[in-house]
Amino acid sequence: MRSVRELSSNVPPRVTHAVLRACYHGWPCRSRCGVLRHRCPLCNGEQYDNLNHIMRCSFVRQTFARYKVCPLAEYRPEVFMLCDFRYTRNQNIVMSAILVAAFYKYLNKRRHGMPQSRNFAKQFDQYVDDAIRGHSNFCYDLVIQRRSTT
């Protein structure tokens, strides 16, 4: 919860909201909504649409590495949950929270029928931008600085 307190002054309320919902397992995943057979809306693999898989999904791991939160080989679910002490210092916690909020919104749209683009990175970048829209230049500059185009 220390991480959430640190966030509240640096990110928009919608970002803090998505992080809190993740911490309390409150994302509207299909498994929580009673759907028995479902696939991950990110990788479309045999894994289920639940937070336990989402924080381990290859798309999530690659995105955290692309935004320079942590190296791909060192990503763990704790990074997603903002509780890995190695990656919750300084600007990493803000960037991680922004990514969690973007995944929250993106996954909700996917669950309601939005098709996944062939260029996931570009499509997801729009959700990152939406997560910080209207907030401080600090967030905007951080996202631009961290966003990798590769």
pLDDT in tens, 57-100: 999 999 999 999 999 999 999 999 988 878 767 788 899 999 99
pTM above 0.85, yes or no: yes
- Supply 20's token pair: 């809190």
Other CB atoms within 10 Å distance of the CB of residue 74: 14
pLDDT surpassing 70 at residue 126: yes
- Bigger pLDDT: 106 or 49? 106
Residue type, 5: R
Number of domains the chain is built from: 1
Domain boundaries, position 130: 2-146
Residue with tokens 């997560």: 131
> What average pLDDT does range 50-55 have in this prediction?
86
